[in-house]
Amino acid sequence: MREDEMNNGARSELRIGAAMVGGDAPVKPDVVAVTGAGGFIGSHLVEALLARGHRVKALVHYTGRGTHGWLDTFSADQLAAIDVHSGDIRDRGTVQRLVEDASVVYHLAALVGIPYSYLAPQSYVETNVVGTLNVLESARTVGTPRVVVTSTSEVYGTAVTVPMTEAHRLRGQSPYSASKIGADKLAESYHLSFGLPVVTLRPFNTYGPRQSTRAVIPTIISQLAAGTGRIELGATKPTRDLLFVADTAAAFIAAGTAPAEAVLGQVFQAATGQETSVGELVRRIAGIFGVTPEIVVTEQRLRPSNSEVERLLGDSTRLRRHTGWQPLSSLDDGLKTTVEWFLDPGNLSRYRADRAV
C-alpha cells in the first residue's frame, strides 16, 4: 500500500464542535499555540479551539507567496481570532516566539507522507525530530504549562498483538515512522529529564475534509470523481483503524485540557477499535458514488515489502478513562461527509488525482 497512512451528515467544519472532549468542559479564552496550523489536522484543531473561545497563535510554513495553507479558507471572523506566524519549525527563534504566553502548545507541524520519506529521509529527520526538539526546548525555556506532542500509530509498524495499546513495541518501518519515533521519544525524555509538562498523543489513521491525496481515502475519492471507472492503488489487503478528523481534533483538546495529574508525562492513543481494509474502503466509497470501479494495483503506489504496515487496530481505553474522550463519528457518516466536501468543485480543484507521492 504505497499510500500515506489511511490517516487520516453535516460538513466537517460543523461536526468538530460536537465531538466529545471530557464531557462538558468549560470554554476558556486562553491563548494557545498550534504548530502545523495550516495543515489537514492542524486547521481542524484551530477551528475547534476557536469554537471554544480561544485565541490561537498559529504557526504556518513560510512561503514566498504568503499563503497560510487551509487557514486561507477561514472566515474573516475566524481569522480575527488567529495570530498567524509564518516561519519554519526548524528555526528555534521562530518557535520560541510562537510559544511565549501560550497556555498550551499543540505541536502538529511535521513532514508527512510515507512515500516521500523514501526519497528524502533527511528532510524528515530535520523537520520531525529537530522541529520537535525546538518546540520542547522553547517550551522549557519560557515555562509553557503544557505541550501536546503529535505522534502517530505508524510508530508501531505492523501490529504484533491486537488491539494495540500504548505499550505495543515501536518499529520504524519507514523513514517517516522512524522520525516520528524519534520525536515521540524526545518528548518522553524532556518530561523525564527536565519535568517538562508533556502529553503525547498517537492518533490512529485520521481522515476527512482537507486531507492530502497522498492518503488513501482522498486518493479513492478523487479518482472516482474523475469518472474514469478505474482506481490505481497500492496493496488492498492492509487494514487501518480510521478516525474522523473531528474526533482527532477533540482528542487533542482532551489531552490539552484534562487535569494535569491525569495526563502529564503520559502517552495516549486515539482510535475507534475497528479496522477496515483498503479494499473495503473502495467498496464503501464507491457505494456512495453508486459505481463499481476497476481496481488496478500499480508498482508506483506500493511500499517496499518490508516497509508495508499490514495491520493497525488501536485501543483508546487509556484516553477515554483519563479524559472522557470518545469518538462520535461512524465510518459511514465520516466517509459521506468527506465525499461531500471533496465533490465541491472549489475543493476538488485543489487536488491532483494522479499524484502518488
What residue type is 221 in one-letter code?
Answer: I
Beta strands per DSSP E along the chain: 31-35, 55-61, 82-87, 104-107, 147-150, 198-203, 205-207, 230-233, 239-240, 242-244, 267-270, 276-277, 294-297
Q: Which of 176, 190, 207, 351 is catalytic?
A: 176
Told to judge if 207 belongs to the known catalytic residues of this protein, a careful annotator would answer no
Q: Do residues 222 and 24 make contact, with C-beta atoms less than 8 angstroms apart? A: no
Question: How far is Cα 42 from Cα 108, in angstroms, rounded to an integer?
Answer: 6
- Helix/strand/coil percentages in the chain, nearest 5: 45, 20, 40
CA atoms within 13 Å, Cβ hemisphere of 292? 0
Point out which residues pair with 35 in neighbouring strands: 59, 107
**Residue-by-residue DSSP string for 4-45:** B-TT----HHHHGGGSBBTTBPPP---EEEEETTTSHHHHHH
Query: What single letter denotes the amino acid at residue 66?
Result: G
- Chain position carrying cell 462538558: 24
Q: Which amino acid is at 24?
A: D
Q: Which residues are catalytic?
A: 176
